[in-house]
Chain A
Amino acid sequence: MDTVTITINGRQVDVPPGTTVLNAARQAGIDIPTLCHFPSLIPIGACRLCLVEVKGQRNPQPACTFPVTQGMEVQTDTPRLYEMRKFILSMLFSERNHFCPYCELSGSCELQDLGYRFGLDHFLFETYTKPFPLDASHRHLVIDHNRCVLCARCIRACSEIAANHTLGLGNRGAATLISCDADAPWGESTCVSCGTCAQVCPTGAIIDRRSSYMGRNRQLDRVASACNRCSVVCAMKVAVRGGRVVRIESDWEAPVNGGLLCERGRFEPLHDERERVTEPMIRREGRLMAATWDDALEAAAEKLRGAGGADLGVAVSGDATNEALYTAAKLFREDLGASYLGLLNRNVPKLSGRSGTLADLATSDLVIVVGVDLMKEMPVAAYLSKRAVDKGARLIVVDDGDNGLAPFASLTVPTSDIASAVAAAAAAGRPVVLHGGVTGETAEALKKIADKASFIAMQPGVNAFAATALGFNGDGRAAGTKVLYMILGEQTVGQVIPGQFTIVQAAFRSPAVEGADIVLPSAVWSERAGSLTSTDGRILKADKAVEPAGSAKADWEILALLAQKMGKKSLSFDETSQAALIEIKGKERA
């Protein structure tokens, strides 16, 4: 049987077997109040607000956990249910401190919304007088147990989404508290600061320090974006108010990182205090002097016109967008014939074998991590690996030094013993290999499972996948060129080579900027539209969330303007995106 038919409030609904009453009702557009339920988490039926009457069942049942059966008759809105829900809510309001005016979540709190909905204009029971503790030991997050309704969403998010299991319940009855590890202060616990718990908390119990009291939910605009801090390229939503980024959230719908971000993606950009480059500059009589865009671009164009292909080099950092890489490749490689096309990050060559995506981790029964410390470099890939372990997959870490995933591995071996990892993979059903740069012997050993395993090269450069596809492979030597164009983006790596004429496109001050001859201010991730290609070949789009600092411009736009100055054809943003996509995907297939 493909579908089950049930009636909800007299209406027929067809749903697949196994659907919960709640989801069946939602599918039919019937709203049932919930509190502990969260779509991406396994329901536990803790709060009982979703109680419904099921014909034949003596007591009301929680809709969020109750599965449908053929012919079931459900009522979601009887006077009895209304009274029960109101009673439960009154208890919740009285159990701890819910004096809303002082709460960060007031105005966008799920508990408060329910209170309004059920007409709770006063406390029906005596409120709790004993204060509960507040833990502010975490560098990004605060938990105020006085606002907690013990829905356990945070615990489930920490376990099911982040696979970190830091949060749990301590004690029992009225003394029950959310606790970290064995009651450790949050800031000293095993928490990895992914922030997922804060994103699911329905009340003001878990809040993040940075965005608190900076605007109610409905005063914030949400802009789709993509993290440019590592090559996982997590999809995210940027909460913006008054032209400023207030908070970064994960995108629950995202196919790979759905719900997840790491500390670097969620919190670091909000604390970036590096000094910006805000206006174009030209070196005059030894000093960098402010200039107009027109003058700076003209000066750059003149220099480029004068340099022959052999004298010309271009170096890109990993975080350049697909659009910038495409425009740079067109201009420097095709039009100007530059002799050096460099990538400022190390490039990890793909091992021969079936290319996989990080989504494969969800169905894998064996994961080999070799030559890369994912916990440090690509945290969300590490969390996804841990999630696979929670589901029963074996994790094998191949590393000669410390590796952040080693404590979760069923086997940790030195590279000299790659053979045992390969042997295990050969016996597995759906092995996945996440690799960094490896030696020739290791690559050779892994060839044995080339047909069987999904291979994913974990690039240290954010957009290195696209950079490589577009020809930035580091062939040739930067030092040999007379004019070097550096697309630094948000990176502060690299230095100028004495005697070389250097044009730098950068968002932040750095030694390379200080030594450059022409500086073009570049927008940061939140200030530009653009797409990035993840290390497993997914293309993620970011919209512009806020205006650029000073007169900075998007990385691709600077290159397009430069091309125009040089009399070359330049494309619109959409055309560039499209052309880049075709070239990146085309190269991948070839």
Chain B
Amino acid sequence: MKADYDTLLKEFTPEQVEKLKEIIERYKGKPGGLIPVLEEAQVSLEYLPVPVQKVIAAELNLPLSRVYGVVTFYSFFTMTPRGRHTVRVCLGTACYVRGGKAIAETIEKLYDVKEGETTADRRFTYETVRCLGACGLGPVVVIDDEVHGRMKPAKVKEVLNQYE
């Protein structure tokens, strides 16, 4: 199969694509090259969508199903881009009864994302979690490493605006 690098240019910069070529070149034809290629590719490209997996499969002469199997097996690999910031809304029991659900819905509406997704501008990756051990502060939203307690739907935008 011919590797289709051109489609990658829709999602990645020419420098990133060049880097991918360079990574593959170093491992091509060597047994056991798949995982190191995926690791390095993820560092350079940040995520490994299907077109990238196709290129790697073609270049390493492996079935696409194998590459996909490895990418989805190891939690280190991701097929969707991560945002610059990670927003985690707690939906554990304590936060939930104190209105965590409404916070989650507000974020989903304001930024047009669903659980596990990243905003189109790659600003936020939005996730929900079950209990962060900060129940006294509920409902809790954690952005990157910072905990924001006693959240209200009306405050969501203001708090998130602190993160570019």
A binds B: yes
Q: Which A residues form the contact surface with B (CB < 8 A)?
A: 155, 159, 165-172, 179-183, 190, 407
Further contacts, 4 of them, CB under 8 A, given A166-B63, A171-B72, A181-B65: A166-B65, A170-B69, A171-B73, A181-B64
* Separation of A155 and B2 alpha carbons in the complex (Å): 24
Write the nearest CB–CB distance from B107 to chain A, whole angstroms.
Answer: 25
Q: Is the CB of B65 within 8 A of A180?
A: yes
Cβ-defined contact, B73 with A182, below 8 A: no
B72 contacts A172, C-beta separation under 8 Å: yes
Chain A CB within 10 Å, residue with most, of B66, B71, B72, B75: B72
Contact of A182 among B1, B2, B65, B75 (CB under 8 A): B65
Q: Which of B52-75 contact A (CB under 8 A)?
A: 53-54, 63-69, 71-73, 75
Q: Which residues of A contact B156 (CB under 8 A)?
A: none
Pull 27 A–B residue pairs with CB atoms less than 8 Å apart, ordered by A. A165-B63, A165-B65, A165-B66, A166-B63, A168-B66, A169-B69, A170-B68, A170-B72, A171-B73, A172-B73, A172-B75, A179-B72, A180-B65, A181-B64, A181-B68, A182-B50, A182-B53, A182-B54, A182-B64, A182-B65, A182-B67, A182-B68, A183-B50, A183-B68, A190-B64, A407-B1, A407-B2
A180 to B63, CA, bound (A): 10
Residues of B within 8 A of A181 (CB): 64-65, 68
Chain B's nearest CB lies how many Å from the CB of A394?
12
> For residue A182, which residues in chain B have a CB less than 8 angstroms away from its CB?
50, 53-54, 64-65, 67-68, 71
Cβ of B72: which chain A residues have Cβ within 8 Å of it?
170-172, 179, 183
Chain B positions within 8 Å of A165 at CB level: 63-66
Give the docked Cα–Cα distance between A169 and B66 (Å). 8
Q: How far does the alpha carbon of A165 sit from the alpha carbon of B66 in the complex, in Å?
A: 8
Minimum C-beta distance from B160 to chain A (A): 30
**Residues on A with beta carbons closer than 8 Å to the beta carbon of B69:** 168-170, 179
Residues of B within 8 A of A169 (CB): 69, 73
- B interface, over-half SS: helix
Q: How far is the CB of A308 from chain B (nearest CB, A)?
A: 60
Q: Which A residue sits closest to B75, measured CB to CB? A: A172
Please, how many angstroms separate the alpha-carbon atoms of A51 and B68 in the complex?
A: 31
**Contact between chains at A159 and B63 (CB < 8 Å):** yes
**Nearest CB in chain B to that of A390: its residue:** B63
Size of B's binding interface in residues, CB under 8 A: 16
Instruction: Check if B65 sits within 8 Å of A168, measured CB to CB.
Output: yes
Question: What residues on A are CB-neighbors of B63 within 8 Å?
Answer: 159, 165-166, 168
CA distance A232 to B11 in the complex (A): 45
- Tell me the nearest residue of chain B to A169, going by C-beta: B69
| Contact assessment for B65 and A179 in the assembled complex, using a CB-CB cutoff below 8 Å | yes
In angstroms, Cα B65 to Cα A190, docked, is: 10
Residues of A within 8 A of B73 (CB): 169, 171-172
Contacts of B1 in A (CB 8 A): 407
Interface centre among B2, B53, B64, B66 (most CB of A within 10 A): B64
Q: How far is the CB of A152 from chain B (nearest CB, A)?
A: 11
A171 to B69, CA, bound (A): 7
**Distance (whole angstroms) from the CB of A382 to the closest CB of chain B:** 15
Contacts of A171 in B (CB 8 A): 72-73
Once the chains are docked, how many angstroms separate the CA of A172 from the CA of B77? Answer: 13
Q: B1-29 toward A: CB 8 Å interface, digit per residue (1/0)?
A: 11000000000000000000000000000
Q: How far is the CA of A552 from the CA of B85 in the complex (A)?
A: 74
Most A CB within 10 A of own CB, among B2, B71, B73:
B73
10 smallest CB-CB distances across A and B, nearest first, come from: A168-B65, A165-B63, A182-B68, A168-B69, A182-B50, A181-B64, A170-B72, A171-B72, A172-B73, A407-B1
A179 contact from B2, B54, B68, Cβ within 8 A: B68
Cα(A239)–Cα(B59), bound, Å = 43
Q: Can you name the residue of chain B whose Cβ is closest to the Cβ of A159?
A: B63
Closest-CB distance, B51 to chain A (whole angstroms): 9
CA distance A407 to B64 in the complex (A): 14
Complex CA gap A165/B75 in Å reads 23
Our pick among B2, B50, B68 for the contact of A168 (Cβ within 8 Å) is B68
CB nearest neighbor in B for A166: B65
Shortest beta-carbon distance from B69 to chain A in Å: 4
Given the complex of chains A and B, what is the CA–CA distance between A182 and B53 in angstroms? 8
**How many angstroms from the CA of A169 to the CA of B63 in the assembled complex?**
12
Determine the distance from Cα of A159 to Cα of B66 in the docked complex, in whole angstroms: 11
**In chain B between 64 and 121, which residues have their CB closer than 8 angstroms to a CB of chain A?**
64-69, 71-73, 75
- Distance in Å: Cβ of A410 to nearest Cβ of chain B: 9
CB distance from B76 to the nearest CB of A (A): 12
C-alpha spacing A166/B67, complex, angstroms: 11
Cα A182 to Cα B72 in complex, Å, equals 9
Q: How far is the CA of A179 from the CA of B72 in the complex (A)?
A: 11
Q: How far is the CA of A384 from the CA of B73 in the complex (A)?
A: 30
A171 to B53, alpha carbons, bound, how many Å? 15
Closest chain A residue to B1, Cβ basis = A407
- Least distance between B55 CB and chain A CB atoms (Å): 12
What is the CA–CA distance of A168 and B65 in the complex, to the nearest angstrom?
5
